[in-house]
Amino acid sequence: MVQRYRLLMLVFAIIVPVDQLTKIYIDSTMQLHQSYTVVEHFFNISYVLNTGAAFGILADNTLRVPLLSGVALLALFIILWIFKRVDGRHLQRFALALVFSGAIGNLIDRLRLGAVIDFLDVHWYQYHWPAFNVADSAITVGVALLVLDLWNDERRRVK
C-alpha cells in the first residue's frame, strides 16, 4: 500500500516545506505590500495576502475561510480517490501529487492565517498577473500536466 503512495509522499515532502518556508521567509523579512524588483518590467517579489480564492474571488465574503477550507478538503479527498485508482500512469500520478501538495500548502495558510501568502509577481510593465506562490505553481503545473496527459490519450485513441 505504501508503494502506491511513494510518489505522492515524495512530491508532498518537497512542495509543502518549500512552499511554507518561502512564505515564512517573505512574512518575516517583508512588510505587507512591500515589493522588490527582480527583473525590471517583468518580475517582482511582492508580499500580498489573498483572502479569497483564485484571483481574490470571495475575498469580501465573511464565510470565506470555512467555505474555501471545506472546498479544499473535499478536493483533497477527490484527488486521493483518483490517485488510488490510477495505475501505471506516472505522468498522471505526478500531476495529481503536485495538485494535492499545492492544495495542502495553501490550506495550511488559510487555516493558520485566514488568507494565503502570495509573493511571486509576474507582470509586463503595468499589466500584472495576480501574485502567486509555490503552492499555486505546483497546482498550475499539475493541472497543465493532467491536460497534457488527457490530450495525449485523445491523440492515441484517434490513431
Chain centroid offset of residue 25 CA: 18
Q: Which helix (H) or strand (E) holds 127?
A: strand 127-128
Cα(98)–Cα(11) distance, rounded to whole angstroms?
A: 7
The 3-class SS string of 28-95 reads HHCCCCCEEEEECCCEEEEEEEECCCHHHCCCCCCCHHHHHHHHHHHHHHHHHHHHHHCCCCHHHHHH
List residues with catalytic annotation.
118, 136
